[in-house]
Amino acid sequence: MRDFARRFFASDIWWSYKSSPLVVVASIITAIIIFSSVFATYVAPYNPFDLTQFDLMDSLKPPVWMADGTSKFLLGTDDQGRDVLSTILYGSRVSLLVGFFSVIFAMIIGIVVGLVAGYSGGWVDAVLMRVADVQLSFPAILIALLVDGVARGLLPKNSHDELAVYVLIVAIALSFWVQYARTVRSSTMVERTKEYVQAAQVIGLPQPLILFRHILPNVMGPVLVIATIQLALAVITEATLSFLGVGVPPTSPSLGTLIRVGNDYLFSGEWWITVFPGVALVILVLAVNILGDWLRDALNPKLR
């Protein structure tokens, strides 16, 4: 273990990490956000979804540094008297869960389809890519709505709320895989003609082995970058779906729902209800994006 730690601190990845202050800051921020949302029960001052803990009398209190603010609620309260800081912490739980898992799920589908289409060419490629094109011509929201509607029809009614998050993940993943598939396909078509792939063919390796052991690591660069951008999109799509009433139940709102709800109060002066969740979302997305960009370069042995 100590040996491993020593090797890690001597490695180029660690060197490239610590020599970029931006990446260090981004990773610390991401870690803080993930930590505080996972342990929201302990970190947050209140549990905003426990009806006994909030009071309508506290509603629409501004943040602490404004004239009417109280130190009870650092970032103010919403229309029902819930602490905004606590709702953000609890809300980013749902957002992160949906964001990460839908991205991973979409990535897996997209990579497999892209690799197979790019490597096989011919009619396999044609069929898979036309499917992708058809899907691309519908807005992601529409597909997610469709998946959600189908799921609601199939699942028993009383389990809707529990399963809502999983349905969301599947719905978002199924509408996002096309991006990965297209990118992976075009990189695969380039890699396929390189001689290391021919060398693998001459050795006699079967196609799946060539695809996953040889080509996949060489096409991952752009995929990681798309993934970080998609993470943001997934969080936003989840917000939209929740706003339309097909996402997570209002009793455990996500970051996106908070922004939507706060929107109504934006023009009546209570800006903090929507701005703080928005800022949290922007910081999260930016930090993950910087990390993804760095990871792409750090994992490339040539750029070390």
Q: Whole-angstrom Cα distance, residue 142 to residue 302?
A: 42
Q: Which of 195, 251, 268, 269 binds another protein (CB under 8 A)?
A: 195
Cβ atoms within 10 Å of 150's Cβ, excluding its own: 12
The 214-233 site mask, x for binding another protein (CB under 8 A), equals x--xx---------------
CB of 104 to another protein, least distance (A): 21
CB of 25 to another protein, least distance (A): 21
* Burial 249-271, CB ≥16 within 10 A → b, else e: eeebbbbbbbbbbbeebeeeebb
Q: Which residue number, 41 or 201, has a Cβ lying nearer to another protein?
A: 201
Query: What does each C-alpha distance from 270 to 59, 73, 78, 85, 135 come to in angstroms?
Result: 11, 14, 8, 15, 40
120 binds another protein (CB under 8 A): no
Q: Which of 204, 245, 251, 267 binds another protein (CB under 8 A)?
A: 204
Q: Whole-angstrom Cα distance, residue 60 to residue 297?
A: 46
- Which residues have a Cβ under 8 Å from the Cβ of 2 and sit 6 or more positions away? none
Q: Residue 59: is it exposed, middle or buried by C-beta count within 10 angstroms (0-12/13-18/19+)?
A: middle
196 binds another protein (CB under 8 A): yes
57 binds another protein (CB under 8 A): no
Q: Which of 1, 5, 67, 202 binds another protein (CB under 8 A)?
A: 202
Q: Which residue number, 39 or 212, has a Cβ lying nearer to another protein?
A: 212
Q: Which residue number, 245 or 301, has a Cβ lying nearer to another protein?
A: 301
With CA atoms as reference, report the closest residue to 176 among 250, 236, 124, 218. Answer: 236
Interactions with another protein, residue window 6-45 (CB under 8 A):
15
Considering only the stretches 66-74, 201-209, 256-264, 268-276, report the one whose residues sit in contact with another protein under the rule CB under 8 A: 201-209
51 binds another protein (CB under 8 A): no
Q: Whole-angstrom Cα distance, residue 96 to residue 112?
A: 24
Q: Which of 38, 43, 155, 205 binds another protein (CB under 8 A)?
A: 205
Binding site for another protein (CB under 8 A): 15, 194-196, 198-206, 209, 213-214, 217-218, 301-302
